[in-house]
Amino acid sequence: MTRIGILTSGGDCAGLNAVIRAITLRAIQTYGWEVYGIHQGTHGLMRRPVDAIKLDLSFCNGNLLRQGGTVLGTTNKGDPFSYPFADGTIKDISEDLIEGYRLLKLDAVIGIGGDGSQSILRRLAQQGELKLVTIPKTIDDDLSHTEHSVGFMTAVDVATEALDRLQPTAASHDRVMILEVMGRDAGHIALAAGIAGGADIILIPEIPYSMESIARKIKSLRSGGRNFALVVVSEAVGTESGEKATITDLSGKSRYGGISQYLASRITELTGAETRFTVLGHVQRGGQPVFQDRMLASVFGVHAVDLIHQGKFDRMVAWQNRQVIDVPIQQAIDGYQAVDINGTLIKTARGLGISFGDEKI
């Protein structure tokens, strides 16, 4: 009897449960395998007894497909190759994880994660025993070799809805509204939501901007009769001089970069416009997945199980040109999918008159 494990790792997003469901349905119904859900990413493999639950078909009924987050729990803390214990020591616990895999008597693991998680899982797999297939998930959509990762499209949907809500209040009050969206390194969410939500200015880490250019755009809107403006900015964007914007927390730390606050302040300074900013935060992660994330999750889950059935390991499933494919995990990790600054979406945005803050006089 083949036994497989599933784990979700890194930041959660919408569609993870749909992946878990698809894997479980395929593995049990088609192949008659046993499926184990490992709790909290690799942490479940570290605990003794191993923290995992056997999944069955009834687990997949009802609402699982539609539910946000991950019922298995996840973690984005603790690289097992240098794991920080509570007492301050740091230890390589990778062997413990592999022992966890062994104790569960698994024949393979499907890891659902972003580039960081996949990189760690692959390093574990390279030690020889653990067989691995991965499924790309990240709201940032920055994994290469796949058109989209699970979670991205729901995040864009949430960000677009926020712009739909901010537009009328901006127009009612003659304000410049700034929406800060997620995107640790890449501007995909900002770009897509900006186009779909009718932004006037989109700032992404791939395109350096000047405050002067932003101010000019806002003034030109005003002189053209538009009394408000919508700005979308990716959290990864820094200040004009390229430094990371920060807000100092009461406890002395910064969680959100504060770039939207910086922009609000500078725009008022340069244009006299009244500004407001909103940091959308974690509402982008949770909630019901949109239909595309559910479809992508289903496609990926089924194909990942099929790869195991075919004995093909060390592969990441991917979506390209309307088909599911699979690529070597390392290849996916080595690549990086930034916004293509010469691509159709950027050209479309510029074609609509959206400014990226980089226009020269």
Q: Which stretch binds a copy of itself (CB under 8 A): 47-55, 105-113, 207-215, 282-290?
A: 282-290
For a copy of itself, what does the binding mask look like between residues 35 and 74, x meaning CB under 8 A?
-----x----------------xx--xxx-xxxxxx--xx
- 298 forms part of the interface with a copy of itself (CB under 8 A): yes
Q: 156 and 192 in contact (C-beta within 8 Å)?
A: yes
Q: Shortest distance, CB of residue 102 to a copy of itself, whole angstroms? A: 26
Residue showing tokens 């806002």: 218
| CB nearer a copy of itself, residue 34 or residue 130 | 34
Q: 12 and 294 in contact (C-beta within 8 Å)?
A: no
- 3 forms part of the interface with a copy of itself (CB under 8 A): no
d(Cα 47, Cα 30) in Å, to the nearest integer?
31
Greatest Cα pair distance, the chain, in angstroms, is 72
Q: Shortest distance, CB of residue 285 to a copy of itself, whole angstroms? A: 4
- 310 forms part of the interface with a copy of itself (CB under 8 A): no
| CB nearer a copy of itself, residue 49 or residue 351 | 351
Q: Which residues pair with 355 in a beta bridge?
A: 201
Segment 158 to 217, residues that bind a copy of itself, using CB under 8 A: 158, 160-162, 164-174, 177, 192-193, 195-198
Q: Shortest distance, CB of residue 299 to a copy of itself, whole angstroms? A: 5
Q: Shortest distance, CB of residue 279 to a copy of itself, whole angstroms? A: 6
d(Cα 36, Cα 350) in Å, to the nearest integer?
48
- Residue 140 is among the residues annotated as catalytic for this protein: yes
CA–CA distances in Å: residue 61 to residues 47, 74, 151, 265, 320 = 28, 22, 21, 50, 29
Catalytic entry in 140, 141, 200, 293: 140
d(Cα 284, Cα 155) in Å, to the nearest integer?
5
Residues 6+ apart with CB under 8 A from 49: 103
CA 98-8-108 angle, to 5 degrees, is 40
Segment 212 to 271, residues that bind a copy of itself, using CB under 8 A: 224-227, 247, 249-251, 255, 261-262, 265, 268-269
d(Cα 238, Cα 185) in Å, to the nearest integer?
11
Q: Which positions are annotated as active-site residues?
A: 140
